[in-house]
Structure 1
Amino acid sequence: MYAVIKTGGKQYRVVSGEKIKVEQIPAEVGAEITLDQVLMVGEGESVKIGSPLVPGATVTAKVIAQGRHPKVKIFKMRRRKHYQKHQGHRQNFTEIEISGIAA
């Protein structure tokens, strides 16, 4: 059984037991969270597609870690104008493990 969930403005296809990194969720490490924005649930040939959400479907997950992605370097430059700008960014993430899908 698999599901397509929406969290942090992005969509993820998840199956039970899978570990994924999503946008930061305010939860403690080890806590159980429920993701209720389920767009689609599928099992074999049967597929339930929501409009936009599947009614009554939830995905439960356990928070494994809170962290930060590697630094992305931003460099802006205007040639012949003596302008250079260096900047860096590290995005926060939450690593979760999918423990169950309820349709």
Structure 2
Amino acid sequence: MFAIVRTGGKQYRVAAGDKIVVEKLDGEAGSTITLGDVLLAGEGGDFKSTDGLTVSAEIVAQAKAEKVIVFKKRRRHNYRRKNGHRQNHTILKITAIG
């Protein structure tokens, strides 16, 4: 069985046992959370009703993404700015859909 879940403004197709990387969610590693915003669910080619359907997941880790370098320059004005950014994210393991 699979489900399409919305979290952090993005949509993810998940099934039991999948690991996904989502925007930062509150919680410690090892705790369980439920994702209630299920958009679609089904098995094979058959779709099921999403009324009251939730997806439970376990937080594997709170981590940071790869560093992104932001470099600004204006020609002939001696203007250079270098800045780095690492986005926080959460790694989830889907335990059950139901």
TM range (shorter): over 0.9
Provide the residue aligned with 1:69 in structure 2: 65
Q: Which amino acid is 1:60 matched to?
A: S
CA drift of 1:70 comes to: 1.7
- 2:84 paired residue among 83, 88, 95: 88
**Which consecutive residues of structure 1, in runs of 5 or more, have no partner in the other structure?**
none
Identity of aligned residues (%): 49
After superposition, the Cα gap between the structure-2 partners of 1:81 and 1:35, relative to the gap in structure 1 and judged at 3 Å, is: same
Provide the residue aligned with 2:17 in structure 1: 17
TM-score by length of 2: 0.93
**Which consecutive residues of structure 2, in runs of 5 or more, have no partner in the other structure?**
none
TM-score by length of 1: 0.89
- 2:52 paired residue among 56, 63, 85: 56
Aligned residues, how many? 98
CA drift of 1:39 comes to: 0.7
